[in-house]
Amino acid sequence: MASDPISQSILDLLHAHDPEAAGIIELETRRQATTIELIASENHVSPAVMHAIGTCLTNKYAEGYPGMRYYGGCVHHDDIERLAQKRAKELFGCEYANVQPHSGAQANMAVQMALLKPGDTFASLVLKDGGHLSHGMKINFSGKYFNPVHYPLTYDENDPNFEQIDYDAARAICLEHKPKVILCGYSAYPRTIRFDRFREIADECGALLMADIAHIAGLVAAGVHPSPFPHAHVVTTTTHKTLRGPRGGLIMTNDEEIKKKVNRCLFPGIQGGPLMHAIGAKAVAFGEALKPEFKTYQEQVVKNAAALAKALQERGYRICSGGTDNHLMLVDLQTKSADLTGTDAETWLEAAAIITNKNGIPNDPRPPRVTSGLRLGTPCTTTRGMKEPEMIRIADWIDRVLSAGGDEAVHNEVREEVQSLCADFPVP
């Protein structure tokens, strides 16, 4: 069921060595191949990235940084890490890049530890409005050890910027609380971020600007979304999602002093040995992102998101903020049915081979485990080669499933149609 001969060969070897584990992996391979993936934070990596993360680089401990390791035998690990750094810097137009974070959350932790002391104040968008756990949620390290204050979205339905960042309110909150760091960049925000405006606010209140571009990194790299540089003092991101690399994190800056602080806080502050196989795969993914076809891909991601959002609006669903500028959208299910929850929608759609995630909407009356919305994204479908006509078909399927409620017959009908489309657009 694997999509390339090398992957199939690896699965065959696994079957001979450990059939139980191999069977589970093969089932997941089949699931991905036969479902439409609309989770905005996921993507399908290339076979090259997939194989890079499974190389002998996983065998080596390489604590420290290139040229300053605590173990011998790291000469080639230095080379692959330097290659990943070089490509990241070229890709995002920055002076320094740390490719060792195991995840985006750990990248954020390292930066916050570098720039803040326990109890210090930072400003961010609250989770319920599209922020992230590591942006100040009380049960997360960022909310336990630091003091988050939150700026809001615009909540006036008559405002053309309804459910978008309220930059004037953000300025007022930052001038009142004088945070040491202002954090922008979000987990469920469908609009363009004005990094230049945030830098003006940061300069006015004496703060450093941190941009978390985990979701939009691929768009930024391709020039489809404005870059946080030169406005942000430090930038974090994941390397998966729109960047289409392995799961991992990345920290970038143009400030040498911030670089030194961040490097110390990441290692030995919160991490030990870096995952060198993941760093090797990051280098491969960054190389792919530097090619002209990556820009074409990201442009199509945005076109597909706009087409899917429009098609859902035409079928009676409200899209939060009125639309999308990037790869994702938040669908308000209440406008279709007052009783329809994100939990139900996610479950029914999965039964029809359409994979989504329930998500809160701004001012959601329901708790996070239930929600009134879905977050949808187009990186995966675009990677498979789908375009606007397929987005319209997907919107039709979503509407058929949700309109039918828990009707298993409809789920089965749609699943067959989805799997037929998936066969025409295979996973890389």
φ, ψ dihedrals at 142, nearest 5°: -65, -30
Would residue 238 show up in a list of annotated catalytic residues for this protein?
A: yes
Beta-sheet pairing, 234-238 with 208-212: parallel
Q: Which is the catalytic residue, given 81, 129, 166, 212?
A: 212
Closest CA to 9 of 69, 51, 60, 43: 51
Q: Please confirm, yes or no, whether 61 is among the known catalytic residues.
A: yes
- Could you say which of 171, 180, 244, 247 is catalytic? 247
Known catalytic residue at 341: no
Helix (H), strand (E), coil (C) string for the chain: CCCCHHHHHHHHHHHHHCHHHHHHHHHHHHHHHCCEECCCCCCCCCHHHHHHCCCHHHHCCCCEECCEECCCCCHHHHHHHHHHHHHHHHHHCCCEEECCCCCHHHHHHHHHHHHCCCCCEEEEECHHHCCCHHHCCCCCHHHHCCEEEEECECCCCCCCCCCCECHHHHHHHHHHHCCCEEEECCCCCCCCCCHHHHHHHHHHHCCEEEEECCCCHHHHHCCCCCCCCCCCCEEEEECCHHHCCCCCEEEEECCHHHHHHHHHHHHHHHCCCCCHHHHHHHHHHHHHHCCHHHHHHHHHHHHHHHHHHHHHHHCCCEEHHHCCCCCEEEEEHHHCCCCCCHHHHHHHHHHCCEECEEECCCCCCCCCCCCCEEEEECHHHHHCCCCHHHHHHHHHHHHHHHHHCCCHHHHHHHHHHHHHHHHHCCCC
The answer to whether 212 is a known catalytic residue is yes
Q: Which of 34, 61, 86, 407 is catalytic?
A: 61
The single residue of 4, 42, 63, 407 carrying the catalytic annotation is: 63
Q: Please indicate whether residue 155 is annotated as part of the active site.
A: no
Q: Which two tokens stand for residue 350?
A: 């999965």
Q: Which of 236, 237, 238, 341 is flagged as catalytic?
A: 238
Distance of alpha carbon 46 from alpha carbon 122, whole angstroms: 38
Contact at 8 Å (CB) between 371 and 323? no
Q: Is 159 labeled as catalytic in the residue annotation?
A: no
Catalytic residues: 61, 63, 212, 238, 241, 247
